[in-house]
Amino acid sequence: MAKNFFDLPAVKQVSAWVICHGGDCVGKILVAYPKDGAGTVRAFITIWSGSLQTNGAMQGKANGYGWDKTSGAVDDALGNLTKGLDLSGRGMGAVTSFFESHGYSLWSVI
């Protein structure tokens, strides 16, 4: 019997969001998680259009215990684009709100 795609080990260790703006898909957020849950979470973000458009990929990472490392890695990758707004450790709801405040929408795909 074939495994469910989402039960495969490689898929369990990643998340992905599509970034949309003005009805078009204009970017992506990819997040890779460590096997043990205690290691470093890494984020890779590209945005091709809109007010947050970048010239290439942005990468960030977060580690430690007791906080939301996904939003920490995304915050690290976004760097100066957040203009001092700290998304780190606040969860993907805060990340989604940040993008929505700039006219984007995020759609989780994995």
Concatenate the DSSP letters of all residues of the chain into one string: -PPPGGGSHHHHTEEEEEEEETTEEEEEEEEE--SSSSS-EEEEEEE-SSTT--SS-EEEEE--SSS-HHHHHHHHHHGGGGTT---TTS-HHHHHHHHHTTTEEEEE--
Q: What is the pTM of this model?
A: 0.89
Tens place of pLDDT for every residue, the chain, 110 residues?
457 777 777 777 999 999 999 999 999 999 999 988 789 999 999 999 999 998 889 999 999 888 899 999 999 999 988 888 899 899 999 999 999 999 999 999 98
Q: Where are the domains of the chain?
A: 12-108
